[in-house]
Homo-oligomer: A and B are copies of this chain.
Amino acid sequence: MKLHLLLAALLLSLNCAAQERVERWGRFELTLHATPGNNPFDTELTATFTGPNTTYTVRGFYDGGNTFRVRFMPTSEGEWRYATHSPLPALNDKKGHFTCTPPTAGNHGPVGTDGLYAFRYADGTRYYPMGTTAYNWMHEPDSLVARTVQSMAQARFNKLRMLFFVQNFDPAHPEPARFPYEIKKITTDANGKRVYEWDYTRFNPDYFTHVEECIDRLAAIGVEADLILFHPYDEGRWGFDRMPVEARHRFLRYATARLAAFRNVWWSLANEYDFMRTLTVDDWNGFARTVVQNDPYRHLCSIHSHTAKYYAYWLPEFTHASVQDQAPVEGFGRAATVRNIYRKPVVFDEVCYEGNMDNRWGSLSGEEFVYRMWQGLIAGTYVGHGECYMVEGPNDYSHDFLAVGGTFQGEAWRRIGFTLDILNALPHSLQLADSSWDTQTSTAGDGYYLIYLGKEVPDAWTFELPVKNAGYGRLREGMRFRVEVIDTWNMTVTPCPVTFETGAPVRDRIFDRLHRSVPLPSQPYLLLRITAAE
């Protein structure tokens, strides 16, 4: 027997196994063994973790066989002690300790909100969500899963919207390899259609383990897993869209017990929640409360609805707005209104998708998506990507990244890294410098502006800024600026050799004292980066 197998056998023979060292925002896992009772998923098990200045109580979970686990994400470095609590003696009063070490490279901790409108990793690094969507990537064959991860890394996306429950996007698509519940029975109806009967009180730990591995693979490439907990896209195939309310709460308790310790998890209560007609808004608010009450780390949490059906994101359970609506990013300044109302970060997670589908939501050009993204960004909001190209005919979903992941087919994804570089260079997150009066000039602090020209194709831009600069210092005479012309589509940055100098303000605007201009290449989708000159 090789040494590592021996070690594994040794660990298994003990009642309890866990790490001695865990990096900050890494995952501590305590494995316990007990003979399961009637429904081991109903076993009560919690653990209290006490570290430097903090105590957390987290729920454990049954993981199949005679295995129970408790997972924990330590939030500060130093010594942590823990003790378990359970009516089951074999799971009760298990005590131990571990050392939380500094995070390793690439681990910035979970993303949280930063002030009213921005996001930040727990280590202080600013986070600009640049997400895309691959609803079912986790439920596809391994080779496709691997390709999706590769594509995400290549494009430098840092967030992925994904469905926990498999979607019936194509009735001809094969059944998934796993289901999240035990099957009570499978029958066939009068039309020969397969009918599943699920045991909503018994989960399939293998399904969760697979989801967890996928989430970890995203963490390894710096991608946040925007995990959509419920969705309506079932159309009678498996019936998960008609799960009873109590089964949903049970699911949320189990899912949070397993997943909350993953630092890159975001909770999205639903996609198009309003299409699940049997559920009320009160039900959804209840689901949100269950998630938040069972997530000691308070991961980002939102809910997504149908086009222009806005949710009450002001409720305390929701950390940000996750909006489906293209209207606010189709023109200048509109997205700022949404932000001004909610006073929370606004992510337009769906503004229609790049693709060639025969419908109005999946047929944007890459240019139009990048345009909408910048309309959202300059207004201090964030815009999510998605693409759906049908390759071999209108119902060939095999290359549809939106549905299955895989390899990007379009054009917008190639601009994500370039966009991120522009954002990461900002001293502060963006907002309109003079909201409602100037819808094109975005400020990132004192002496740092982005002006987006969108679809306008002027020959030149005459230097002009608003005197008001959001909450930063107002502009005065004698300030010097440099201008770079950024082509957001062709990904070029061209500095203008002139150093501009402001004259006296004219009411609410300020101009170069010689009214000089920046020549422009007569292309759409230009962005001017204006920064203070020495």
Contact = CB atoms under 8 A, between A and B. Distances in A.
Interface stretch (A144-152, A159-167, A320-328): A320-328
Interface in A327-348: 327-328, 331, 333-334, 336-338, 340-343
Nearest to A311: B341
With most chain B CB atoms within 10 A of its CB, the pick from A307, A314, A436 is A436
Contacts of A343: 310
Nearest to A307: B436
A2 interface: no
A310 B340 contact: yes
Contact of A508 (B325, B336, B337, B360): B360
Contact of A327 (B308, B310, B333): B333
With most chain B CB atoms within 10 A of its CB, the pick from A307, A337, A338 is A337
B336 A308 contact: yes
Nearest to A331: B331
A472 interface: no
Contacts of A104: none
A507 interface: yes
B341 A336 contact: no
A235 to B, nearest CB: 21
A178 interface: no
A334 B327 contact: yes
Contacts of A325: 337, 340, 436
Contact of A337 (B328, B358, B359, B360): B328
A95 interface: no
30 contacts: A307-B435, A307-B436, A307-B437, A308-B340, A308-B436, A310-B337, A310-B340, A310-B341, A310-B343, A314-B314, A325-B337, A325-B436, A326-B436, A327-B333, A327-B435, A327-B436, A327-B439, A328-B334, A328-B337, A331-B331, A331-B334, A334-B334, A337-B338, A338-B341, A341-B341, A341-B342, A358-B507, A360-B437, A360-B507, A360-B508
A309 interface: yes
Interface in A343-388: 343, 358-360
Contact of A340 (B309, B331, B439): B309
A312 interface: yes
A341 B310 CA distance: 5
Interface string A290-330: 00000000000000000111101010000000000111100
Q: How large is the interface on A (under 10, 10 to 19, 20 to 34, 35 or more residues)?
A: 20 to 34
Majority DSSP secondary structure for residues of A touching B = loop
A9 to B, nearest CB: 59
B309 A312 contact: no
Contacts of A439: 327
Nearest to A351: B436
Interface in A57-76: none
B327 A336 contact: yes
A395 B327 CA distance: 41
Interface string A430-444: 000001110100000
Contacts of A342: 341
Contacts of A307: 435-437
Contacts of A340: 308-310, 325
A340 B306 CA distance: 12
Contacts of A333: 327
B314 A312 contact: yes
A504 to B, nearest CB: 16
A327 B338 CA distance: 11
A334 B326 CA distance: 11
Contacts of A359: 507
A340 B325 CA distance: 11
Contacts of A308: 336-337, 340, 435-436
Interface string A117-157: 00000000000000000000000000000000000000000
A29 B434 CA distance: 51
A465 B337 CA distance: 28
